[in-house]
Amino acid sequence: MLPSLLRRNRWTAMETQATARSKRQASHEFYKKLYKLTGAGGAAFWITDFVISVSPIAAKYRAAFSISNLPMALVEALVGGLIIGCCVSYFLLRFFDKVPTKNPILKALILSFVAMVIIEVLSTLVNPSNAYVYLLIDTGMNVPRFLALGIVVGYLYKRLYGSA
């Protein structure tokens, strides 16, 4: 009886080690995908922000809201784009089957615009006296950024990992 118990315990230990190894490997693959999608989405967000920032409309916007330092605004846009790209990529990878539609680009766009709505609502709560101004101007300037982020994340997902 004792030898069969020892064999069973060894077998259980080996199964546990194999399961833990496969979970670590799956986790590693998940984060590898997450980093790729985050970097691409953040870059798309930042490039779009850069193009918008050099426009005359953005110069008037910066002057109206006392944003004096363009390089600092670009650094903030890079960090913000990476954070938003990480959130969109995480939810795309984690809840891929739960987001409606089958196309990864549309899924990423849905997640991207949900993130934009959350950010716009939070920004209006910070300064309720000028909420309509922030909502109108910021939304108009943020749509291209979030559109680019969603398209790039969805396209890269589709290109690298297929539709499912």
pLDDT in tens, 54-110: 888 777 777 776 766 667 778 888 999 999 999 999 999 999 999 999 999 999 999
pLDDT the model gives residue 89: 96
pLDDT over 60 at 6, yes or no: no
Neighbours of 120 (CB within 10 A): 17
Cα–Cα distances in angstroms (integers) from residue 68 to residues 58, 63, 64, in the given order: 12, 7, 10
pTM above 0.75, yes or no: yes
Mean pLDDT on 158-163: 83
**What pLDDT is stored for residue 21 in this prediction?**
59
Q: Model confidence over 17-29: pLDDT tens digits? A: 555 556 666 788 8
Average pLDDT on 146-154 reads 97
Q: How confident is the model at residue 127 (pLDDT cuts 50, 70, 90)?
A: confident
Range name among 7-11, 23-27, 110-114, 120-124 with the lowest pLDDT average: 7-11
Closest alpha carbon to 156 in 62, 32, 55, 33:
33
Indicate the pLDDT class of residue 163, thresholds 50, 70 and 90: low
User: What was the pLDDT predicted at 126?
Assistant: 78
Contacts of 85 (CB under 8 A, 6+ apart): 37, 38, 39, 40, 41, 42, 44, 45, 149, 153
> What pLDDT, on the 0 to 100 scale, is given for residue 43?
96
Say what the pLDDT of residue 17 is: 54
> Per-residue confidence at 149, pLDDT binned at 50, 70, 90?
very high
Contact 34, 90 (CB under 8 A): yes
Domain boundaries, the chain: 33-161
